[in-house]
Amino acid sequence: MMHNYEFKFSARLTSSAPHPVALPLAESQLSPRALYQDVAERLRQQIFNRELEPGSWIDEQKLAADYGISRTPLREALKVLAVEGLVTMKVRRGAYVTEMSTEDVRQIYHLLALLESDAAAWVAAHATEAQMGSLRTLHEQLEREVHQREFFFATNEAFHMQILALAGNRWQQQMISDLRKVMKLNRHHSLFKEGRLSESLDEHRAIMRAFETRDAEAVRRLMQAHFNNGLAAAAA
């Protein structure tokens, strides 16, 4: 038999979360860890959807009541998001959604350019034909979605994450995943700029051509330029 607060929270997640979540489990199957992870994911989505704005104070009491849980799993979830950089804990003031400065954005783009260009160069040199085919499929999807910003965003991220998956360096994947989460806090995302989707697609085309010829150094250079152009668009 589940505790009431756990069942209530699971029901809320099932009905309102933007992504599917697991159905309620029997108490013997549900570890204390599972509940705060569900809470952390719900909070992530509220932050990414701007339901909780960057810089805003997180009202723990209200959220716990909204979720139908005690404050203990909520506080554990906030610690997870603080490690990821999405939440900032302030002494005697509580938790706030992290707000990105111009310098934060510059530094994160710089790291992403280095890490993702390295992964892409490795893929160009070592990926199988079948693995390269998975990148072609995602690129073709980008071509179709260039005038549909929301879909383009999702496929663009999937393309980049597929490169990381093919490179197979789990430490690199973890670092980039965390950096990309924080980048979603940026109010001035590069792809918001007028005309940037088309420019980004042109850059992806050049990257794909270099992938097809297995030119690892060209892929590295083009991927770094891709991020540098993204930073310039975000700054503008």
Spans of all domains in the chain: 4-97, 102-235
Give 138-148 pLDDT, tens digit per residue. Answer: 999 999 998 88
Residue carrying the six token digits 């954005």: 105
Q: Residue 56: what pLDDT? A: 93
What is the C-alpha separation between 97 and 110, in angstroms, rounded? Answer: 23
What is the C-alpha separation between 49 and 41, in angstroms, rounded? Answer: 12
Cβ contact 204:135 at 8 Å? no
Q: Quick one: pLDDT band at residue 233, thresholds 50, 70, 90?
A: confident
Helix/strand/coil for 23: coil
Q: What is the CATH number of domain 4-97?
A: 1.10.10.10
User: Does this model's pTM top 0.85?
Assistant: no
Give 97-133 pLDDT, tens digit per residue. Answer: 999 888 999 999 999 999 999 999 999 999 999 999 9
Which of 17-21, 71-75, 159-163 ranks highest by mean pLDDT?
Answer: 159-163
Residue carrying the six token digits 């599917």: 20
Cβ contact 9:72 at 8 Å? no
Give the domain 102-235 fold: Four Helix Bundle (Hemerythrin (Met), subunit A) (1.20.120)
What is the C-alpha separation between 58 and 56, in angstroms, rounded? Answer: 6
